[in-house]
Amino acid sequence: MAFCTNCGAQVQPGEKFCTSCGSKIEEYNAPAAESALTGAAAAAGAAAGAAAGTPAPGETPAPPEAQAPSSPVYQQAPDPVYQAAPEPSYQQTSGQADAGAPGYAEAPADTDAGDNKGMSVLSYIGILVLIPLFFRKDSSFARFHINQGLVLMFIELASSLLKKVSAAFFPAGVRSLVSLVCFVVTLGCIVLSVMGLIAAAQGKRKTLPLIGGIKLI
């Protein structure tokens, strides 16, 4: 079989010219044509192998590309659950707690004041302060009012003594001034005694003005 050396087309035996390109056909060119066709086929195969990643015959295959590590997958932690703290319970003394307010427990009443109100009232009636002083001295409530009653009693006694001394030894003008001062002091003691007596009857520890800070017992 003969082939055209110019274009590689197959020609019939005995033809002198190529029917495809018109070149002159030389004798004994079959091996050359076959070699040309084989080289063309090999080149086409190499191109196709390169496109597909297959190495050509005689070539060293390329090392595979290193695959990048995949990114780690993170899971979101569940949201924490918070519990509200219980509301505190408050206690108030008797007479201060609101009976209808929730969350408040009424504290027990002051039993000391309830048991000693009657005797504490006597602390503001002059010399009768000696009765609770001897019989209720262990009670803190009674002792509070006994202290104030004693202070008032001593002030009244001092005022009365000063008035008598001025009447015996001082001249008339001084006696009048001393008498006026003693009258004001006595009137003030009466007012303070009434205030203390009412507080004791109500079971309260009320500090009287002016003399409340004086401690005798």
Q: What is the pLDDT of residues 96-133, one digit of tens each?
A: 444 344 443 333 446 878 888 888 899 899 889 899 88
Residues 121 and 195 in one domain: yes
What DSSP string describes 102-160?
TTEEEPPP-HHHHHHHHHHHGGGSGGGGHHHHHHSTT-HHHHHHHHHHHHHHHHHHHHH
pLDDT at 173 over 90: no
The pLDDT of 166-192, averaged and rounded, is 89
pLDDT at site 105: 37
pLDDT at site 1: 63
DSSP 91: E
pTM for the model = 0.47
pLDDT at 88 over 70: no
Cα 104-110-113 angle, rounded to 5 deg: 155
Q: Does the residue 61 lie in any domain? A: no
Mean model confidence pLDDT for the chain? 74
The pLDDT of 36-62, averaged and rounded, is 55
pLDDT at site 158: 93
Residues 37 and 115 in one domain: no
How much of the chain exceeds pLDDT 90, in percent? 21
* pLDDT tier at 80, thresholds 50, 70, 90: low
The pLDDT of 20-27, averaged and rounded, is 73
Q: Does the residue 186 lie in any domain? A: yes
Name which residue leads in pLDDT, 87 or 55. Answer: 87
* pLDDT tier at 49, thresholds 50, 70, 90: low
* pLDDT tier at 93, thresholds 50, 70, 90: very low
Look at residues 50, 66, 88 and tell me which one is the last residue of a structural domain: 50
Q: Does the residue 101 lie in any domain? A: no
Q: Does the residue 214 lie in any domain? A: no
Instruction: Give the residue numbers spanning the domain of 141.
Output: 110-201
Buried residues in 166-182 as b, exposed as e (16+ CB within 10 A): beeeeeeeebeebeeeb
* pLDDT tier at 64, thresholds 50, 70, 90: low
Q: Does the residue 75 lie in any domain? A: no
Instruction: Report the domain count for the chain.
Output: 2
* pLDDT tier at 74, thresholds 50, 70, 90: low
Residues 114 and 191 in one domain: yes
Q: Does the residue 79 lie in any domain? A: no
What ranges make up the beta strands (E) of the chain? 2-3, 10-11, 90-92, 104-106
pLDDT at site 95: 40
pLDDT at site 48: 58
Q: Does the residue 127 lie in any domain? A: yes
Look at residues 35, 50, 65 and tell me which one is the last residue of a structural domain: 50
* pLDDT tier at 28, thresholds 50, 70, 90: very low
pLDDT at site 9: 77
Q: Does the residue 62 lie in any domain? A: no
